[in-house]
Structure 1
Amino acid sequence: MRIDAHQHFWVYNPDEFDWIGESESVLKHDYLPATLEAELVTQGINGTVVVQARQSIVETQWLLSLAQKYPFIKGVVGWVDLMSPSLEKQLQGLQNAQALKGFRHVLQGESDPHFMLQSRFIDGLKVLHKYEYTYDLLIFATQLPQARQLIDKLPTHRIVIDHIAKPDIAKGENFNEWKADMAAIAENQNVYCKISGMVTEANHQHWQEADFTPYMDVIFSAFGPERVMFGSDWPVCQLAATYSEVIRIVERYVARLYPEFSQQVFGLNAQKFYRL
């Protein structure tokens, strides 16, 4: 089974999606399963993991309702307030939602880089682990030092780094720091990494496939092809590339350097991590 391990749906509303910039008009539309389904068929993708785009329990419930209607949605990564005193009760109320695999918080949007190191936040992550939910770590590369500290406190938790931690591919700045941090994080065998979100960190109009090779080299070397999974980041990827362009970047790289691991990168690793 071929899996896209990272995509989104939304009904566009400027108040709820204030992270979409003025110049990002391509994202200011509704993006729903019927739109994506035809693309998946064309690319031979059998299933997806849909990831939250709003920080609301309503978002989680909505994504779960979509998963009930569309069989290609194999997993949901929702949102829950990790610091809520009622967290455990909320998780207990979600136990029957078989599509719910994990949670995410938009840490890249937090002005305090140490937000993730608050004891209440970490305690919340430990509760997720108790109920066997995964955690998607959405950060900028500048937050990697804090992410390393966080992961050290959660040695047995299944965590995946979204979008290779968003290094500055367009300018190529701080590459060595990013590389060192990712290598250190990858030492924890429970941490995976999504090859996703790269095109939007590159020059949107003038990127070339070769721009991404050094970054994929680092990820595959650090995590190994057994802990890397492909994600399109659709529809956000459309700021810089089509769905087919995004998947081809990774397909050609894997075919060239890790051909025997194609099934893992494009499906089996996501199935194992999210228990799809």
Structure 2
Amino acid sequence: MNVKIDSHQHFWNPKRGDYDWMPMDNEILARVYGPRDLEPHLLAAGIDQTVLVQAAATVEETEYMLGIADASPRIAGVVGWIDFENQQHAYHLRRLAKHPKFLGVRPMIQDIPDTDWMLRDDIQWAYELIIECDLTFDALGFPQHLENFLTLFTRYSDMRFVIDHCMKPQIRNHSVDGFTHWADGMSRLADQTTAYCKYSGLVTESDGWSLEKMQPYVEHLLKVFGSERLMWGSDWPVCRLEASYDAWHSAARALTADLPKAAQDRVFGGTAKKFYRL
């Protein structure tokens, strides 16, 4: 049986007060999202399981998500957060690693002003402990982080890395130079490391998305990562800024419709299952 998996979605309650990135006047984002809101979309798209990913830089957020996961059979696993700048959080990582649905961590690197933050000497302990605990690392960044991620992924070759949202190519400001920089960087990550990539976030990096705008990016990802290392994710409810869950899922399917069925099955389930060991 081919299990269909959404490798990247969120739940949140803004009243918890730790979603520092969230504009509280945004009617789409600044509201409660929970399993009941997502369920109709999972049914419509035929999705069996999801990976719930952190959206706030607190351990409390991770505990919140694990509580939801405990009560939600649809949630196959949780990607949480610890403070890489506080080595006392080694306790939290070891503790969380014992939870059967805790998969790994995601520092919110895209929101950190220092592009070189990930390479700071004082946070290297966290990568070493992630490997020790056999957990995953979700790499959230922008094209300007490509070179540093290559350094990081090469340094810790035993770690299971996955690139979130295709490293957020700036489709809305598409240019030949911008595409070339992103494409070359992604090619190096694919060729020189064992990193996987999430086929997600493309609609929100577009301004008035279309299949035509996204096609060259998807084609490049398939060329360098292949279906064996590419996994679809909705990034719901963030995707709602540009497209409904169903519209993005349908677009993602259309952009991969020429793949053999076995390859499509990997992109829409098998790869996530393998990477996250679901």
Q: Which category of TM-score, normalised to the shorter sequence, fits these structures?
A: over 0.9
Task: Show the counterpart of 2:171.
Answer: 169
Task: Show the counterpart of 1:230.
Answer: 232
> Which runs of no fewer than 5 residues in structure 1 stay unpaired?
none
Give secondary structure in 1 for the equivalent of 2:106: strand
1:275 aligned onto 2:267? no
1:114-142, CA deviations, whole angstroms, 9 ceiling, x for partnerless residues?
00111222321111111000000000111
Give the AA of the match of 1:146: N
Task: Show the counterpart of 1:81.
Answer: 83
Output the CA distance in 1 between the equivalents of 2:161 and 2:121.
18
Task: Show the counterpart of 2:246.
Answer: 244
> Which runs of no fewer than 5 residues in structure 2 stay unpaired?
none
Task: Show the counterpart of 1:215.
Answer: 217
Q: CA deviation at 1:257?
A: 3.3
Give secondary structure in 1 for the equivalent of 2:256: helix
Output the CA distance in 1 between the equivalents of 2:185 and 2:15.
36
| Contact preservation (8 Å) 2:18, 2:57 | no
Output the CA distance in 2 between the equivalents of 1:244 and 1:6.
15
1:61-117, CA deviations, whole angstroms, 9 ceiling, x for partnerless residues?
111111110000001000011232223322232243100001001100010100011
1:24-57, CA deviations, whole angstroms, 9 ceiling, x for partnerless residues?
3211110011110121011100000000001111
1:54 aligned onto 2:56? yes
1:10 aligned onto 2:12? yes
| Contact preservation (8 Å) 2:153, 2:193 | no
Q: CA deviation at 1:243?
A: 0.4
Quote the RMSD (CA, aligned, Å).
1.5
Picking from 13, 34, 37, the partner of 2:36 is 34
Give the AA of the match of 2:60: V
Give the AA of the match of 1:132: D
Output the CA distance in 1 between the equivalents of 2:235 and 2:62.
18
Alignment length (residue pairs): 274
Give the AA of the match of 2:185: D
Q: CA deviation at 1:15?
A: 4.5
Q: CA deviation at 1:146?
A: 1.4
Picking from 159, 168, 185, the partner of 2:161 is 159
Q: CA deviation at 1:23?
A: 6.4
| Contact preservation (8 Å) 1:234, 1:243 | yes
1:151-172, CA deviations, whole angstroms, 9 ceiling, x for partnerless residues?
1211121000000000110121
| Contact preservation (8 Å) 1:128, 1:134 | yes
Give secondary structure in 2 for the equivalent of 1:10: coil
Give the AA of the match of 2:13: V
TM-score (norm 2): 0.94
Greater Cα shift, 184-193 or 67-76: 184-193
Give secondary structure in 2 for the equivalent of 1:186: helix
Output the CA distance in 1 between the equivalents of 2:119 and 2:5.
32
Give secondary structure in 2 for the equivalent of 1:218: helix
Q: In percent, how many aligned pairs have the same letter?
A: 35
Give the AA of the match of 2:56: R
Task: Show the counterpart of 2:140.
Answer: 138
TM-score (norm 1): 0.95
Output the CA distance in 1 between the equivalents of 2:148 and 2:98.
34
Q: CA deviation at 1:187?
A: 1.7
